[in-house]
Amino acid sequence: MSKLVSAQTGNEAMAYAMKQVNPDVVAAYPITPATEIVQIFAQYVADGDVKTEFVAVESEHSAMSACIGSAAAGARTMTGTSSQGLALMYEMCYIAAGLRLPIVMADVNRALSAPINIHCDHSDTMGMRDAGWIHLFSENAQEAYDNMIQAVRIAEHADVQLPTLVTTDGFIISHGMENVEHLADERVQKFIGEYQPQYSILNVGKPITVGALNLQDYYFEHRRALADAQAAALPVIKQIGEEFGKESGRAYGLVEGYQLDDAEYAVVALGSTCGTAKVVIDSLRAKGEKAGLLKIRSFRPFPKDEVVQALKKVKFAAVLDRSDTLGGYGGPVFTEVRSALYGEASKPPVAGFIYGLGGREIDMEMIEELFRLMKSGEVKPDSVQYLGVRE
Amino acid sequence: MKIHPAYEMLRPDKNFPNVWCPGCGHGIVQGAIIRAVQKLGLDRDEMAMVSGIGCSSRMPVYCDFNSLHTAHGRAIAFATGVKLHNPKLHVIVITGDGDALAIGGNHFIHAARRNVEMTVVLMNNMIYGMTGGQYSPTTPIGKRASTAPYGTAERDFDPCSLAKAAGAVFAARGTVYNAAELEKLITQALAKKGFALVEAVSPCPTLYGRLNREGNAVKMMQWQKENTVNVKAAEKLPPEKVRGKIVTGVFHDAETPGYTEIYDRVIAKARGA
Ligand SMILES: Cc1ncc(C[n+]2csc(CCOP(=O)(O)OP(=O)(O)O)c2C)c(N)n1
Ligand code: SF4
Ligand SMILES: [Mg+2]
């Protein structure tokens, strides 16, 4: 069968995946740099290419509220946003997870105000890392497309039933054009299957109440069930990633190791920076240096065991964070990785690097420098530093 | 060399990039505000200019006033805080139809209801300019937007009626074509002691104009010129002669004590004065 390839930006690829998913409801509000996703989708709706009910609401808070209503009614529901828009959704995002509604969101990572900034960092999604959503990071437009399709399956899986967000790096992926390979519409439909909600407020034969008050009696159990669902998502994400590989030739795991098997020094990162790191690693390998990368695809649930396994043999790992915890010790990825390694007998020293806030450039020289620093022993284990900022 | 009279109110030395497209109406609104402030001889240290996010909301970046450029939709809420902290300040809110009436609609009606003393200049271009032309709560039904390629199915708000109904003391509409009238309306609004709205109809040739095939900036100005009726004249015309036109002038002008004034009375009473 011939391959379906077209040149698309990350936003176009995500909108196209949404078109192929053909959800029942999309509710959204525009925000740079995610606007196009929904705008392109609005055109699909207007042209009758999808059967989706498109709700152009008056804010992101309303967008997520409408998504919650529609998902509770048993509809396959999607949305897209970024930065301040996501921040305005936070209240509703916690509710979506608590109600176990499998909403799928495209989130284009952008810095949070203040100061106002429209460029990439991961502060927006990290602001809801504890909201109960599944977070899948994408390295490029192809992965954004693939993740959007898998996200539907993951979110709706009977063992999971959790809202899922797929990120791209603002402007770097969202507006960068590349070749994106698609599955045919029928194959996407077959892959995601028909949505069979376990519960729906529209099922008059089996009336339910969604979101009722839980005090000291049951709240804790419900929150605990949410944690269990996150844990249950780990094998599901893996299994669906493998299945997707059979379908498309592009298999996915919770993490991806690049030149990691015999690596002595490694960087750990999320998103588009992994692409940059791969190029650096290729050139270092050509010079005989044993450099590698650990890319974390699923940040929530955090794949502790895979991370430990992947880093076991390296001599040093530099963990890159495109957001800060402000008052914590190191960025969110660093704190997770370090905590995962803590009790292990065989573990590398790690150091944290906070970089790229508000779209500040991370280039190949900077990543190469990290490898040099690790090798020369100039980075102190457990240290946290800022990379590329004027002091 | 003759210096432009508005110059003293701007920040020319800061080199902030101008984000407004050629032909955008927002700059004309800025000119009208500056002239109104100059005419009233307001002391800039006694003023604050507060905006949200949008092309329109960029204005405080260019004007040399105490300014707050906040979050999308929250300008009026921030301005309420500014006013309550220092009731002596003249607070001007710069906002757009999306900022004030969609995401910030709640703040708009409640500040009007409380009659918080502020002058709200709402630049109505009937679209979300900054994010690429999505329809807004003032896009007339049937008009095109990037989220409504075949025209919207939603009814639009009349910001002046909304403000009046919610409790504002002043509601007026002007156009950028008639900048002199706009300036006069803003001057009147600045003199009010309560929630005063001036809706400035401001063309967005780049998005609204293009999507609705209304021609370039000059054509859109021409349209404003030919399709504006003053409220006094409109009252005497049959409705079909007014339909589809921009009605300008003062729609509502009342004297009701402002929020900080009433608040002071409550404090005085509680203190037994
Ligand atoms: C919470 C949040 N949601 C969305 C946005 C994106 N956004 C910025 S400006 C804007 C619309 C602006 O429209 P309007 O207020 O009419 O101003 P105009 O650009 O037309 O002058 C939107 C949706 C944002 N900045 N913050
Ligand atoms: S997009 Fe429209 S509103 Fe924004 S600056 Fe350009 S003309 Fe003005
Ligand atoms: Mg507007």
3-state SS string for B45-69: HHEEEEECCCCHHHHHHHECCEEEE
The answer to whether residues A228 and A262 belong to one domain is no
Instruction: Note whether B105 contacts A56, CB cutoff 8 Å.
Output: no
CA-based nearest distance B110→chain A, Å: 17
The answer to whether residues A288 and A308 belong to one domain is yes
CATH number, domain of A98, equals: 3.40.50.970
Query: Which of these three, A209, A227, A248, is where a domain ends?
Result: A248
Q: Is some CB atom of chain A closer than 8 A to the CB atom of B94? A: no
Length of chain B: 273
The answer to whether residues A21 and A73 belong to one domain is yes
Name the residue of B18, B20, B134 to mutate for ligand 2: max ligand atoms within 8 A of Cβ: B20
Consecutive sets of 10 residues in chain B, 273 residues long: mean pLDDT of each? 88 88 97 97 95 97 94 98 96 98 98 98 98 97 95 97 98 98 98 98 98 97 97 96 96 97 96 85
What does the DSSP assignment read for A157-168? -TTT---EEEEE
The answer to whether residues A208 and A306 belong to one domain is no
Task: Say what the pLDDT of residue A1 is.
Answer: 52
Number of domains in chain A: 2
pTM: 0.96
CA-nearest residue for atom 5, ligand 1, is A31
The answer to whether residues A172 and A260 belong to one domain is no
Question: For residue A113, which residues of chain B lie inside 8 Å, CB to CB?
Answer: 71
The answer to whether residues A150 and A262 belong to one domain is no
The answer to whether residues A76 and A213 belong to one domain is yes
Task: Say what the pLDDT of residue B13 is.
Answer: 86
The answer to whether residues A70 and A151 belong to one domain is yes
For chain B, the domains span 21-270
The dihedral over CA atoms of A238, A244, A250, A254, expressed in degrees to the nearest 10, equals -20
Strand ranges (DSSP E) for A99-250? 104-109, 134-137, 164-169, 177-182
Instruction: Note whether B73 contacts A59, CB cutoff 8 Å.
Output: yes
How many angstroms separate the CA atoms of A145 and A19, rounded?
Answer: 11
Instruction: Note whether B131 contacts A84, CB cutoff 8 Å.
Output: no
The dihedral over CA atoms of A339, A344, A350, A355, expressed in degrees to the nearest 10, equals -30
Residue B203 and residue B25 in contact, taking contact as beta carbons nearer than 8 Å? yes
ipTM entry? 0.94
The answer to whether residues A242 and A262 belong to one domain is no
- Work out the average pLDDT over A165-185: 98
CATH number, domain of A330, equals: 3.40.50.920
Is B58 close to ligand 2, i.e. is its CB under 6 Å away? no
The answer to whether residues A336 and A192 belong to one domain is no
Closest by CA to B53, choosing from A85, A182, A356, is A85
CA-based nearest distance A117→chain B, Å: 11
What digits encode the pLDDT tens for the residues B183-239? 999 999 999 999 999 999 999 999 999 999 999 999 999 999 999 999 999 999 999
The answer to whether residues A170 and A214 belong to one domain is yes
**Closest chain A residue to B58, measured at CA:** A116
Domain membership of residue A324 as a residue range = 255-387
Instruction: Note whether B149 contacts A46, CB cutoff 8 Å.
Output: yes
How many angstroms separate the CA atoms of B139 and A130, rounded?
Answer: 38
Share of chain A above pLDDT 70, in %: 99
Is A88 close to ligand 1, i.e. is its CB under 6 Å away? yes
Contacts 24+ apart (CB under 8 A), A367-371: A367/A267, A367/A273, A367/A276, A367/A277, A367/A280, A368/A280, A368/A283, A368/A284, A370/A267, A370/A318, A371/A265, A371/A267, A371/A280, A371/A284, A371/A289, A371/A291, A371/A318
Query: Which of these three, A223, A248, A273, is where a domain ends?
Result: A248
CA-based nearest distance B60→chain A, Å: 14
Instruction: Note whether B146 contacts A47, CB cutoff 8 Å.
Output: no
Fold of B21-270: Rossmann fold (3.40.50)
CA-nearest residue for atom 8, ligand 2, is B24
What digits encode the pLDDT tens for the residues A93-127? 999 999 999 999 999 999 999 999 999 999 999 99
Task: Say what the pLDDT of residue B1 is.
Answer: 80
Listed by number, the residues of chain B in 135-164 with a beta carbon closer than 8 Å to a beta carbon of chain A are 135, 137, 146-150
The dihedral over CA atoms of A6, A9, A13, A18, expressed in degrees to the nearest 10, equals -140
Interface test with A, best of B53, B131, B141, B152 (most A CBs within 10 A): B131
Query: For A126, phi and psi rounded to 5 degrees?
Result: -65, -25
Query: For B17, phi and psi rounded to 5 degrees?
Result: -65, 140
Question: For residue A59, which residues of chain B lie inside 8 Å, CB to CB?
Answer: 73, 102-103
How many angstroms separate the CA atoms of A191 and A193, rounded?
Answer: 6
What is the amino acid identity at position A63?
A
Residue A164 and residue A134 in contact, taking contact as beta carbons nearer than 8 Å? yes
Residue A6 and residue A182 in contact, taking contact as beta carbons nearer than 8 Å? yes
Is B133 close to ligand 1, i.e. is its CB under 6 Å away? no
Question: For residue B146, which residues of chain A lie inside 8 Å, CB to CB?
Answer: 39, 42
How many angstroms separate the CA atoms of B108 and B114, rounded?
Answer: 10
Query: Which of these three, A191, A217, A248, is where a domain ends?
Result: A248
